[in-house]
Structure formats: C-alpha cells, structure tokens
Amino acid sequence: MRVSAKADYAVRAAAELAAAEEGPIKGERLADAQDIPLQFLEHILLELKHAGIVRARRGAKGGYWLARPAEEVTIADVVRAVEGPIAHVQSAPPESIEYRGNAEHLQEVWIAVRASLRTVLEHVTLADLVSGQLPSEVESLAAQPDAWVAR
Amino acid sequence: MRVSAKADYAVRAAAELAAAEEGPIKGERLADAQDIPLQFLEHILLELKHAGIVRARRGAKGGYWLARPAEEVTIADVVRAVEGPIAHVQSAPPESIEYRGNAEHLQEVWIAVRASLRTVLEHVTLADLVSGQLPSEVESLAAQPDAWVAR
DNA sequence: CGCGCTCCTGACCAAAAAGGTCAGGAAAGT
DNA sequence: ACTTTCCTGACCTTTTTGGTCAGGAGCGCG
C-alpha cells in the first residue's frame, strides 16, 4: 500500500517532460530539475519508453519527450509502466481471487480499493499535474483538512 | 501499490474472529478456515494483539478474540497493524514531502490517493465484511462493472 | 569521415522486505 | 504434573527496492 521511489521519480520526470514545450530534454536536465540519481532515472525513462509513454533520440540535441500530448497521459499510465498493475493482492488481480468462509466479501473490498485508486490516478493527467488544475473529484479529496493528517 | 499476503491474511483472520460469537478461537481453527500457514498466522495475530485489535489466552480453552466489537474495528485498523501507514511515498508520509519544479502539485495527488484509500478502508468494519453489507459508497465503487476488469 | 554527445542495455550490488519455518519458553486449564 | 495453546526470537530463502558501473549503439555536426 505504498508508492515506491521509482513510481514517484517516474511521475516527476514525466511532469517535467509535460511542462517542456520545446524539443527533446536531456536526462541530465530532468535529473537536476527533480533531484533524481541520473543513472537510475535513465533506467526508469527506458521503461517509460518501452511502455510507449516517452520517446527518445540519442546524440547531441537528443533527449526525451512525451509520445502523446500531456492531456492524454494519466498518472496511472506512468505508475503502471514502472510498478505494474495497481492494487494487486498477493501478486494477483483481485477479481481472480476466491475467498472462503467469513472473508467471502473481502474480494469486493479489494475491488473497491482498486476502483478508488483508479478514480484518482486515471483522472489526473500530466497536464493537470503541471497546471495544478486537478479534476474536481481529486481536488475535493485533497481539500478536506482531514486528508492532510497522518493516522 | 499492492496488498501484501500478510495484510490479506490479517483481514481474513480478523473476519473469522468477528464472525465467531462464542469464546476464544484457536489459531489452528483460523488457519484451517482461511487456509493460512499456521505459524505465519500466529506471528500476524501477535502483531494484531500488540496493536490492541485482538486479545488472547493460552492453554486449553485458549485462543484469540476481538478486543473491541466487530462494528468498531475497520479494515484500515487491521491493515495498519501489519503493514504500517497506508499510502506512504518513498517511506515518508505524503504531507511531509516537498516537491519542486513542475511536480509541485504531486503532493496533492498523493494526498488524494491516501484519502481515497481511507474512504474505503476506514469505512468498512469487520461486521460489514462478515455480513456483506458494505457501506453504500464502497458498494457503489464495487458495483460498477468497470471495476472488475484488469488494466 | 570522425568525433562527441546522449541514450541504451545488461551486469552487478547491498540492503530491505516478503513470506515463511523452527525451536523453545511461558501461561492457562484439568 | 501434564497438556494445550499462545508467545517470542532466531533463522531462512527469494524477491524487490534502489541504486551503480561499464560499455555499446545511434545521432548530429564540423
């Protein structure tokens, strides 16, 4: 139930790419801007590339850019590219698990957990993230003061 | 962003305890009912005990029972007892992280993620789980057909 | 063409977490 | 006293996490 450094890095790098309007951006510039270890970041960018989220060119004038417009890339896309499926239980998707006895309805709970994560992660695009204009449902979740205190 | 076997086991065992109305239940019976390795389960039950969720007695007629009524124990309580805080980012609570540059609003997104997890996990009690009567918000999340397909 | 720049890739590594097992001790009941 | 059941710590293997290192491959420019 935690967000890995890798996923956090990936989203931050993607946000930088979404913000840059001109040409390819070098890995080093992304690493500097977001304070991410360069060599680790390049592995992450490679995964994003394989997932079709990012494109790249080598050589002088090379760098990375988004494969699609920032309005069409969600945070869920980025997270899935580096962490795999969201909200798996025991490394299996919740819809495939069979619960017995008094835990029978636990499946619905994990499904609801996944659905609620999706309502946030699949609705915030990189463009939203950069502009700070989050979707209203997400905004209202983050707006309640309660959400900002640890438990 | 995944649910560990330990957390899944913990909730299932807690559900069995919530369902049992008479006296202490032996670890072995819980393990059998939910198909959990006994020795692993006992470690989990110990953690639940230390968290004040479960109580136990040794010897013949011994076993485990809920420290509080099942209506007052949420799934979030159980998950936190064995997995620690929900939705930490890079092992730190999202409200403590400072984001720079174009990722500035990422903090709000992670806060929203945590809030959305809480609306599910903190509102479903063990009594709800056993009876299958989930809170309406959770029910409606799990009801959409979309929630049941993998991505 | 050649050279430098930058991405690309695989190998490697240490530390932590996940998912258990084993052996023994301590309390409760009979 | 003896059995039962929880309690506890030590240990174990495999996977994941969070990186680093070394070299190769493609791109652009003079």
How many Å does it take to go from CA A6 to C1' D18? 8
Cβ–Cβ gap A75/B111 under 8 Å: no
What is the helix (H) or strand (E) element at residue B137, kind and residue range? helix B136-143
Sort out which chain A residues have CB atoms less than 8 A from B8's CB and list them. 89-90, 106
Collect all residues with Cβ–Cβ distance below 8 Å to A25 and sequence separation of at least 6.
A16, A17, A63, A64, A65
Q: Which nucleotide is nearest to B1 (CA to C1')?
A: D16
pLDDT of the residue at B13: 98
How confident is the model over B24-37, as pLDDT tens digits? 999 999 999 999 99
Question: Is residue B105 less than 8 Å (CB to CB) from chain A?
Answer: yes
Sort out which chain A residues have CB atoms less than 8 A from B139's CB and list them. 108, 112
Confidence of residue A15 (pLDDT cuts 50, 70, 90): very high
Collect all residues with Cβ–Cβ distance below 8 Å to B1 and sequence separation of at least 6.
A1, A2, A3, A7, A79, A83, A86, A87, A117
CA A65, A73, B121, B6 torsion-angle sign: negative
Q: How far apart are CA A99 and CA B34, in angstroms?
A: 8
Kindly report the bases of strand D lying within 7 A of a protein C-beta atom. Answer: 3-10, 16-22, 24-29
pLDDT of the residue at B21: 82
Question: In chain B, what is the straight-line distance between the N-terminal and C-terminal CA atoms, in Å?
Answer: 14
Cβ–Cβ gap A1/B5 under 8 Å: no
Question: Is residue A88 less than 8 Å (CB to CB) from chain B?
Answer: yes
Question: What percentage of chain A has pLDDT greater than the value 90?
Answer: 98
The amino acid that residue A74 corresponds to is T
pLDDT of the residue at A33: 97
Q: Identify the CA nearest to B8 among candidates A129, A42, A110.
A: A110
pLDDT of residue A89 exceeding 90: yes
pLDDT of the residue at B35: 98
Cβ–Cβ gap A101/B34 under 8 Å: yes
How confident is the model over A19-48, as pLDDT tens digits? 998 889 999 999 999 999 999 999 999 999
Q: How far apart are CA B58 and CA A6, in angstroms?
A: 45
pLDDT of the residue at A22: 81
pLDDT of residue A61 exceeding 90: yes
Cβ–Cβ gap B7/A1 under 8 Å: yes
B47 touches strand C (CB under 7 A): no
pLDDT of the residue at A115: 98
Helix (H), strand (E), coil (C) string for chain A: CCECHHHHHHHHHHHHHHHCCCCCECHHHHHHHHCCCHHHHHHHHHHHHHCCCEEEECCCCCEEEECCCHHHCEHHHHHHHHHCCCCCECCECHHHCCCCHHHCCHHHHHHHHHHHHHHHHCCCEHHHHHHCCCCHHHHHHHHCHHHHCCC
pLDDT of the residue at A151: 93
Q: How far apart are CA A68 and CA A55, in angstroms?
A: 9
DSSP label of B98: -
Q: Which residue is nearest to nucleotide D15 (CA to C1')?
A: A91
> Which regions of chain B are under pLDDT 50?
none
Q: How far apart are CA A20 and CA A126, in angstroms?
A: 12
pLDDT of the residue at B53: 98
DSSP string, B23-91: S-B-HHHHHHHHT--HHHHHHHHHHHHHTTSEEEE-STT-EEEESS-GGG-BHHHHHHHHH-STT-BTT
Collect all residues with Cβ–Cβ distance below 8 Å to B59 and sequence separation of at least 6.
none
How confident is the model over A90-108, as pLDDT tens digits? 999 999 999 999 999 999 9
Interchain CB contacts (distance < 8 Å): A and B: 205
Q: How far apart are CA A123 and CA B120, in angstroms?
A: 18
pLDDT of the residue at B3: 98
Question: What percentage of chain A has pLDDT greater than the value 70?
Answer: 100
pLDDT of the residue at A23: 83
Shortest Cα distance from A1 to chain B (angstroms)? Answer: 5
